[in-house]
């Protein structure tokens, strides 16, 4: 038994360190990212060190700027600091140019913006735009850099996990 205690302690320390600072698995509870990510899919999320650059259309996990909300959200990064974002006539416009979005569920049935994303902030929308509680619905549409959790590395579909 004495031999196993150091091994188990090391395994616990490594597990907690990796989960806190490197990567974490999480389950998707809603359909806001359909059709890209299905409900109950598992994601592997790379924790963001301070120097990581995010790119337009990355899928990111974050804490939203919504009162009394402590859940993490997973959405697509649509606005980087300095970008001007607008939704009109079913299309997304970034800095005045229409964006081709083959990943969305259906064209947007709302208007939003134009808004300019402040420094150290980001704007996120779900791929299921008409059924996603995201930046276009929040009182404050911008997510602060310090509210970011990590970038999605890959998605493990539910049917692979449970044989459905």
In sign, the C-alpha dihedral spanning 26, 46, 107, 38 is negative
Residue bearing tokens 């999605």: 152
Find the distance separating the first CA and the last CA of the chain, reported in whole Å: 41
Question: Which of 75, 88, 135, 151 is flagged as catalytic?
Answer: 75
Residue bearing tokens 């310090």: 146
Report the SS3 class of residue 1: coil
Residue bearing tokens 């276009």: 136
Question: Which of 15, 32, 55, 88 is flagged as catalytic?
Answer: 32
Would residue 32 show up in a list of annotated catalytic residues for this protein? yes
Would residue 30 show up in a list of annotated catalytic residues for this protein? no
Residue bearing tokens 């990581």: 52
Whole-number Cα distances in Å, 88 to 78, 107, 146: 15, 10, 30
Among all residues, which ones are annotated catalytic? 32, 75
């Amino acid at each position: 038994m004495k031999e196993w205690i150091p091994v188990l302690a090391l395994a616990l320390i490594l597990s907690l360190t990796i989960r806190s600072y490197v990567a974490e698995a999480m389950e998707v509870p809603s359909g806001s990212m359909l059709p890209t990510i299905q409900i109950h899919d598992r994601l592997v999320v790379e924790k963001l060190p301070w120097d990581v650059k995010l790119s337009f259309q990355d899928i990111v996990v974050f804490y939203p700027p919504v009162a009394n909300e402590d859940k993490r959200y997973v959405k697509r990064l649509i606005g980087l600091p300095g970008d001007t974002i607008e939704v009109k006539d079913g299309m997304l416009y970034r800095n005045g140019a229409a964006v081709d979005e083959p990943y969305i569920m259906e064209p947007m049935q709302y208007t939003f913006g134009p808004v300019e994303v402040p420094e150290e902030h980001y704007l996120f929308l779900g791929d299921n735009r008409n059924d996603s509680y995201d930046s276009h619905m929040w009182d404050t549409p911008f997510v602060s850099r310090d509210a970011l959790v990590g970038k999605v590395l890959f998605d493990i579909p539910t049917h692979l996990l449970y044989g459905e």
